């Protein structure tokens, strides 16, 4: 049974490992999915924030663009004439701080200060310019140090003349460049080679902390770019993972639970057994039985073999008790009978040749065995004598005695297997009326070595003779055991001394080659043939 325990432990270990793997995999998958979706959500939010900032600044500049043609017509007119118009315009365009007219390089009229006479180049080195210019500028005139966004429109055909509008970007930046923490640490505006941020004003360089990343979006209308400074979509998604852990754990526990339940049937010995039957991994073998008197082969015992491709060969002593435990023994027995019938031609076609099946006690309940024998054995009309071996170690009290009577009526012989090892009583023997008692191999092995057990052997033999039950001795391995059993009147012998179990297909050759050595041929002793011990030794259990 140690092997069986090992096989079951192996399954349990495998099942636990599978469930752990499922739990780990689903935990990692959930976290990965949450990470990827959080990252793309971050990217989407960054994109939206950048588009909003660009649109906000575009909205400030677009009205200036619309009005610039009319304003340019005022260039050259006296300040006294146009000053009021300039003021009205500046008041209408609410984001404007001032509008100034420049004629031949001189700023001569301002909506705020009225008449002026300032060389424009002295204030803004890039002006006058013959192309429109957007400039970031730090005010040194009105409110010192304040950032201004200057929009210059040159007059056609009049070099050095134009309109200069200054946007009070300082006030606007608080709204337009407001960061959305934690996704955006700061927002800055780039115009040419200058940068404006809400905290630092106009700068020649953009200060980006090492750990941060810059996400830039240029305006499609005006020459400026909005820069979002962010800790990074990946970093933020990673930071959000601990918050996702409880959900991921719940999902992985749930899936591990489902895996545990679904593997219950697959990862078990009963699944292996079912699989073995379905995939025809079981082989039907047989072991010859010989008459003690003339060493003729008078029958076989059918024995099951399982060469499991996943676990290796499993001896019947391991899988038969497990099949009984998992209520699969009857399925196996049906398989054994039908496989034997399929190969029935390997046996001599004689009613004197018997075929013995091992049948579990549970199969003797409710007429099940008889139904199965009718379906799988008698339906093929075999010539051979059928014997069913019921092991005495099983709980034979459950056996249905009416079924036993039915078996007898149908001419099926009943053998009590492993006789002497269980807890049989005489009343029980009377009820069952067995045709055969199979002396367990432990008693055969005790012959000549174990005084107590060989006494039991004598008692069993005497009992069989007294009740007129045929005696079969199992496990005959030596000449000494064979002689002892023959002398004491055992009728049939089975053991490695004559033949080891062999595949059914090997029986015809064994039968053809088998030559009994009769006692008369051998120095006056009853001495069974010693051949065949080696024949199937390599393939036996």
Residue 186: closest CA among 177, 175, 194, 195: 177
Q: Would you give the DSSP letter of residue 319? A: H
**Residue placing its CB nearer to Ca ion in the complex, 198 or 389:** 389
Taking the complex as a whole, the smallest distance from the CB of residue 333 to ligand C2E amounts, in Å, to: 6
Residue number, 276 or 495, with CB nearest to ligand C2E: 495
What residues make contact with ligand C2E under the rule CB under 6 A? 287, 302-304, 315-317, 320, 329, 333, 336, 358-360, 391, 417-418, 441, 474-477, 494-496, 501, 541
Q: Least distance to ligand C2E from the beta carbon of 386, Å? A: 14
Cα 201 from Cα 148, distance rounded (Å): 9
- Judged by CB under 5 A, does residue 272 bind Ca ion? no
The packing angle between helices 79-92 and 2-72, to 10°, is: 150
Site for Ca ion in 459-518 (CB under 5 A): 474
Q: Which residue, 358 or 529, has its beta carbon nearer to Ca ion?
A: 358
List 299's β-bridge partners, or say none.
Answer: 289, 354
Minimum gap (Å) between residue 329 Cβ and ligand C2E:
6
Q: Which of 418, 435, 532, 535 binds Ca ion (CB under 5 A)?
A: 418
Count of residues in contact with Ca ion, rule CB under 5 A: 5
What separation in angstroms does the CA of 485 have from each of 284, 319, 440, 517?
A: 29, 31, 13, 17
Residue 244 CB, nearest distance to ligand C2E (Å)?
Answer: 56
Pairing of strands 186-191, 194-197: antiparallel
Which of 177, 218, 163, 234 is closest to 53 using CA atoms? 177
Instruction: For residue 435, state whether it binds Ca ion (rule: CB under 5 A).
Output: no
Q: Does the footprint of Ca ion cover residue 358 (CB under 5 A)?
A: yes
Distance CA 150, CA 99 (A): 10
Quote the least distance from Cβ 372 to ligand C2E, whole Å: 13
Q: Which does 304 bind (CB under 5 to 8 A by kind): ligand C2E, Ca ion, none?
A: ligand C2E
**Nearer residue to Ca ion within complex by CB, 109 or 360:** 360
Closest CA to 399 of 409, 411, 388, 390: 390
Q: Smallest gap, in angstroms, from Cβ of residue 363 to ligand C2E?
A: 8
Q: How far is CA 194 from CA 106, 302, 348, in A?
A: 25, 97, 108
We find the least distance from the C-beta atom of residue 467 to ligand C2E, in angstroms, to be 21
Min CB(482)–ligand C2E separation in Å: 11
What is the three-class DSSP state of 107?
strand
Contact between 287 and Ca ion (CB under 5 A)?
A: no
417 in contact with Ca ion (CB under 5 A): yes
Q: What is the phi-psi region of residue 178: left when phi exceeds 0, alpha when psi lies from -120 to 50, beta otherwise?
A: beta
Question: Tokens at residue 531, please?
Answer: 């051949």
In the complex with ligand C2E, the residue whose CB is nearer, 162 or 464, is: 464
Residue 36: DSSP 8-state: H
Residue 219 CB partners (closer than 8 Å, separation 6+): 54, 57, 58, 225, 226
340 binds Ca ion (CB under 5 A): no
Specify the stretch interacting with Ca ion by CB under 5 A; choose among 46-54, 146-154, 383-391, 533-541.
383-391
Which window, 34-42, 389-397, 398-406, 506-514, contacts Ca ion (CB under 5 A)?
Answer: 389-397
Terminal-residue alpha carbon distance, the chain: 15
Which residue from 389, 392, 394, 532 is in contact with Ca ion, where contact means CB under 5 A?
Answer: 389
Nearer to ligand C2E, 269 or 496 (CB): 496
Residues that bind Ca ion (CB under 5 A): 358, 389, 417-418, 474
């Amino acid at each position: 049974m140690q092997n069986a325990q090992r096989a079951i432990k192996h399954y349990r270990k495998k099942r636990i490992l599978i469930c752990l793997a499922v739990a780990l995999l689903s935990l990692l998958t959930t976290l990965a999915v949450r990470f990827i979706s959080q990252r793309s959500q971050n990217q989407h939010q960054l994109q939206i924030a950048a588009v909003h900032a660009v649109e906000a600044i575009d909205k400030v500049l677009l009205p200036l663009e619309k009005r610039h043609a009319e304003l340019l017509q005022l260039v050259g007119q006296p300040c006294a004439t146009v000053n009021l118009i300039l003021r009205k315009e500046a008041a209408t365009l609410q984001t404007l701080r001032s509008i100034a007219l420049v004629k031949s390089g001189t700023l001569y009229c301002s909506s705020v200060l009225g008449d002026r006479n300032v060389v424009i180049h002295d204030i803004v080195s890039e002006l006058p310019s013959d192309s429109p210019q957007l400039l970031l500028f730090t005010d040194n005139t009105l409110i010192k140090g304040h950032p201004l966004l200057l929009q210059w429109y040159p007059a056609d055909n009049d070099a050095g003349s134009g309109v200069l509008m200054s946007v009070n970007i300082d006030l606007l930046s608080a709204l337009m460049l407001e960061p959305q923490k934690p996704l955006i640490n700061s927002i800055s505006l780039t115009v040419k080679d200058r940068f404006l941020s809400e905290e630092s004003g106009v700068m020649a360089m953009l200060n980006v902390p090492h750990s941060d990343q810059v996400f830039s979006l240029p305006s499609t209308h005006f020459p400026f770019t909005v820069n979002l400074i962010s800790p990074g979509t990946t970093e933020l998604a990673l930071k959000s993972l601990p918050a996702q852990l409880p959900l991921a754990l719940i999902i992985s526990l749930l899936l591990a639970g489902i895996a545990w339940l679904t593997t219950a049937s697959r990862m078990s010995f009963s699944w292996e057994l079912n699989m073995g039957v379905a995939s025809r991994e079981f082989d039907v073998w047989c072991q010859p039985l010989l008459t003690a008197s003339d060493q003729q082969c008078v029958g076989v015992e059918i024995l099951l073999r399982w060469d499991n491709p996943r676990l290796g060969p499993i001896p019947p002593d391991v899988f038969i008790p497990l099949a009984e435990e998992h209520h699969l023994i009857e399925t196996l027995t049906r398989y054994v009978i039908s496989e034997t019938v399929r190969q029935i031609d390997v046996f001599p076609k004689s009613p004197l040749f018997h075929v013995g099946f091992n049948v579990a006690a549970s199969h003797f309940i409710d007429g099940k065995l008889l139904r199965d024998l009718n379906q799988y054995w008698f339906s093929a009309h075999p010539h051979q004598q059928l014997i069913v071996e019921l092991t005495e170690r099983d709980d034979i009290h459950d056996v249905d005695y009416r079924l036993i009577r039915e078996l007898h009526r149908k001419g099926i012989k009943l053998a009590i297997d492993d006789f002497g090892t269980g807890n049989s009583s005489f009343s029980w023997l009377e009820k069952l009326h067995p045709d055969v008692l199979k002396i367990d191999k432990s008693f055969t092995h005790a012959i000549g070595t174990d005084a107590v057990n060989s006494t039991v052997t004598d008692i069993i033999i005497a009992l069989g003779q007294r009740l007129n039950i045929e005696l079969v001795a199992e496990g005959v391995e030596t000449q000494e055991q064979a002689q002892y059993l023959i002398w004491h009147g055992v009728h049939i012998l089975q053991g490695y001394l004559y033949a080891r179990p062999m595949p059914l297909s090997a029986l015809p050759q064994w039968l053809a080659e088998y030559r009994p050595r009769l006692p008369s041929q051998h120095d006056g002793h009853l001495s069974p043939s010693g051949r065949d011990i080696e024949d199937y030794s390599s393939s036996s259990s």
